[in-house]
Structures are given as structure tokens and as C-alpha cells.
Chain A
Amino acid sequence: AQKITQTQPGMFVQEKEAVTLDCTYDTSDPSYGLFWYKQPSSGEMIFLIYQGSYDQQNATEGRYSLNFQKARKSANLVISASQLGDSAMYFCAMRVLYYGGSQGNLIFGKGTKLSVKP
């Protein structure tokens, strides 16, 4: 079965420092996509970054980068130069094309609450 594990319920980081949010995944499917979303207190889901299982290079999007270690089945999110506005819940998610009767839905981890300190 597909599963996403985020072991850090909460993280603190000093403003302007970098922080790594951990994510491990489990799937027997060779084709999958990994996503990170940010959810502020308003509830909206903000897409941050995507990594495909066949991508050779780690994904980067501005201050966000994904440390993809396929053999370890990990997809950690690195946020550089943290800002106060980065304080939010962060969810790692996975998509496989075929999962039971639901194609293409995202499977989410439990999330990590990031707090940026001034």
C-alpha cells in the first residue's frame, strides 16, 4: 500500500536560516510523483514543488528544493532563508496513477507544523 510518513509534528527555525522537513514514502509502483504543499491557517493548499520518480535531478523552485533520495525513498523539503511567512503546515504527498479505484489522487502525510522565529 502507498504511504507517506512525516515524522516531525513540529519544527522551529530561526528567520533567515534553512530548514529541512522530512518525508519518506512507500510504494511498489515504479511510477509516482511526489509533492509538497503548504497550508497556512486559512486552510488553502499551496503547491510548492514536484519531483517525479524518474527525474534525475532534484527539483528546485525558488527557496524550495527537494532532496530526492530514491533508494532511501525519501523526499525531504529544504527551505532556504526562512521567512516569517513560511510559518504554516507542510504536507508531503504522493500520486500514483493507479490506486484502488481512484486514479491520480494525492496521498498525504500527517504534516509538519513549521514555526519561524524572528
Chain B
Amino acid sequence: GAVVSQHPSRVICKSGTSVKIECRSLDFQATTMFWYRQFPKQSLMLMATSNEGSKATYEQGVEKDKFLINHASLTLSTLTVTSAHPEDSSFYICSAPRLGGLNTEAFFGQGTRLTVV
């Protein structure tokens, strides 16, 4: 089946530094990638939608200058958390639909657990 590979799985960084998270679709072309954030014991909340070759669409309340999304190719989307702070510590997970339509299974990456110290 389709696989979305997400790296790193776990990262600890110092406050003020930037962290890049990569999501690659391994056997299909992902024209769209959804980025979610999940705080402990909470649900997944959509942060932004990236589309290959165009600007990302951010959900209300998500700072686009802080969470930089790049989707330069059909197999790679990246999320960069700039000037990270402890409140950015969370679980970040990407998801790519393989086909269009309602019954499209959303293939998820393995997730990245970010801890900012």
C-alpha cells in the first residue's frame, strides 16, 4: 500500500532554533499534504494544507511565518517550525490522500514528537 514517510520521528531542540520535518510519499504522487498538530491527550487539529507548486493554506490561528511549509515536489512536503518555543512542543503528523474524492484513505506519516527545551 501507499506509504508516507515522515522524519524525524522525535526531535529535541533548544528554544529559538528551527526544526524541519519532512514527509515523503514513497510510491505515489502527493499533490496535497495535510499537516496536523496533536497536543497530549487531545485530538488532531489541521494546521495547514500544502499543495505542490503553490502556497500553503493555513487554518485560522496558525502563524504562517512561524510554521513554514514547502511542497516543492510531488513527493516531498516539509514543515519548518521557526524560532521554536516550549509551547510549540507537540506531535506533528502529515497526511496525504492518494486519490481525490470522499473515500480516499488518508495515508499518515509516522509523526514527529517535538520537544522544545
Q: Interface on A for B, CB 8 Å cutoff? A: 31-33, 35, 42-45, 47, 50, 52-53, 91, 95-97, 101-111
Contacts and interface: CB of A to CB of B under 8 A. Distances in A.
B44 interface: yes
Given A43-B91, A43-B93, A45-B93, A102 B46 contact: yes
Contact of A44 (B49, B57, B111): B111
A50 B111 contact: no
Interface of B: 32, 34, 38, 42-46, 49, 57, 59, 91, 93, 95, 97, 100-106, 108, 110-111, 113
Contacts of B100: 104
B17 to A, nearest CB: 22
Contacts of B106: 35, 47, 95, 106
B34 to A, nearest CB: 5
A43 B104 CA distance: 21
A102 B59 contact: yes
B43 A33 contact: no
B44 A33 contact: no
Contacts of B93: 43, 45
Contact of B43 (A35, A95, A97, A108): A108
B33 to A, nearest CB: 10
A45 B34 CA distance: 14
A103 B38 CA distance: 20
